[in-house]
């Protein structure tokens, strides 16, 4: 099946980008007529994509194993395996927030639990496996640093945000507390790993200039751990009463506020900086559509859910409208990315061929295939 040869792990990004529309819409602090129906539609589409993309990826591994190995050995592509985990977890969260009215509460919880478990397990595997491959098989220089390196590291943070609503549905006792504190551990794992990589991304940008034009949208990936960590802390604080003692629950609530406000401030700074660089690239009229445009969706959606969490905690109208504005940007970005992807698939230009080596026997340097 030659059409599957260039279908890499970055094709899980549309699953994530579609699911976050449903999740952010369900959590919007301002209710808009028709928003619930849009959320159900986005959840259903994300669930269909979650069935389709793994099937296509299985065909890729079955019929094009040399190319699949080359993807693992390319530091420009390997980080996108983190999208595999986040896609499952994001659809699980969308099922719980937007799909429960269709499936029923019990079925929605069951589906969300299975997807949470699968996404968390995959996230932990890729959070270790991808850095391991980069350390022992890739040869990298400071100019090779990419925001995509954050993808496998942020996957546990997505689980940290998805787990607390499930914990709140468990009976009070050991299991609920263990799941809640386990999610807090996932939060710490992802946070400290992100703090190690994020300075590299900023220093690469300042010392080596903007990334290649087609890779410029990847700068939006920095928003992912920022928005998702803010969302995760608010979810943890919301599920804490009844799972941990009252002082710990109050401390989590205070931490969610004291952490979320400055992190959201940095996220807005990065959003403006990344948007300015994207505008610069677009003005050069050579930044045609690639799958990297899906980086405009999920990271912005996590900032929308993070702002919504802060709005609920503080009651500030300004934060409510910030959440609504970010959600509007998310919907617009999803529409553009979805249309570009659909048009490319129908025209046969997607999946596009990259510049990967056939099957390198040893270390390789970063290529540009992830932008294809």
In a domain, 265, yes or no: yes
In a domain, 167, yes or no: yes
Give pLDDT tens digits for 197-229.
Answer: 999 999 999 999 999 988 999 999 999 999 999
Q: Report residue 237's pLDDT band, with 50, 70 and 90 as the boundaries.
A: very high
In a domain, 359, yes or no: no
Give pLDDT tens digits for 146-195.
Answer: 999 999 999 999 999 999 999 999 998 999 999 999 999 999 999 999 99
Nearby residues of 337 by Cβ (< 8 Å), 6 or more positions away: 14, 17, 293, 294, 296, 297
How high is the pLDDT of residue 54?
97
Domain that holds residue 25: 2-354+364-371
Query: Which percentage of the chain shows pLDDT scores above 90?
Result: 88
In a domain, 241, yes or no: yes
CATH number for the domain that contains residue 137: 1.50.10.150
Nearby residues of 223 by Cβ (< 8 Å), 6 or more positions away: 267, 270, 271, 274, 299, 300, 302, 303
| Total domains present in the chain | 1
Q: Report residue 145's pLDDT band, with 50, 70 and 90 as the boundaries.
A: very high
**What's the predicted TM-score (pTM) here?**
0.93
In a domain, 37, yes or no: yes
How high is the pLDDT of residue 283?
87
Determine the Cα–Cα distance for residues 360 and 187; give it in Å rounded to an integer: 35
């Amino acid at each position: 099946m030659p059409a599957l040869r260039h279908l890499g792990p970055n094709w899980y990004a549309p699953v994530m980008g579609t699911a976050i529309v449903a999740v952010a819409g369900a959590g919007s602090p301002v209710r808009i007529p028709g928003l619930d129906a849009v959320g159900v539609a986005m959840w259903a589409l994300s669930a269909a994509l979650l069935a389709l993309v793994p099937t296509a990826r299985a065909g890729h591994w079955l019929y094009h194993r040399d190319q699949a190995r080359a993807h693992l050995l390319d530091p420009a592509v390997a980080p996108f395996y983190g999208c595999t985990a986040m896609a499952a977890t994001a659809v699980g969260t969308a099922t719980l927030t937007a799909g429960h009215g269709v499936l029923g509460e019990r079925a929605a919880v069951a589906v969300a639990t299975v997807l949470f478990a699968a996404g968390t397990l995959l996230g932990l595997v890729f959070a270790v496996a991808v850095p391991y491959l980069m350390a022992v098989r890739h040869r990298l220089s400071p100019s090779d640093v990419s925001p995509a390196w954050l993808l496998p590291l942020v996957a546990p943070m997505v689980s940290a945000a998805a787990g607390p609503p499930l914990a709140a549905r468990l009976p009070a006792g050991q299991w609920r507390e263990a799941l809640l504190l386990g999610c807090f551990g996932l939060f710490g794992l992802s946070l400290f790993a992100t703090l190690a990589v994020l300075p590299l991304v900023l220093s690469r940008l300042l010392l080596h200039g903007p990334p290649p034009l087609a890779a410029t949208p990847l700068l939006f990936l920095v928003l992912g751990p920022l928005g998702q960590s803010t969302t995760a802390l608010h979810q943890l604080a919301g599920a804490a009463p009844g799972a941990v003692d009252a002082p710990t629950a109050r401390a989590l609530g205070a931490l969610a506020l004291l952490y979320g406000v400055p992190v959201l401030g940095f996220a807005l700074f990065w959003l403006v900086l990344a948007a300015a660089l994207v505008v610069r690239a677009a003005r050069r009229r050579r930044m045609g559509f690639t799958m990297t445009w899906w980086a405009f969706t999920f990271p912005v959606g996590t900032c929308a859910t993070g702002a919504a969490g802060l709005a609920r905690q503080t009651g500030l109208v300004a934060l409510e409208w910030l959440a609504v504005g970010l959600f509007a940007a998310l919907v617009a970005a999803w529409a553009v990315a979805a249309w570009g992807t659909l048009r490319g698939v129908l025209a046969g230009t997607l999946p596009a061929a990259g510049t990967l080596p056939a099957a390198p026997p040893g270390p390789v340097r970063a290529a540009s295939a992830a932008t294809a």
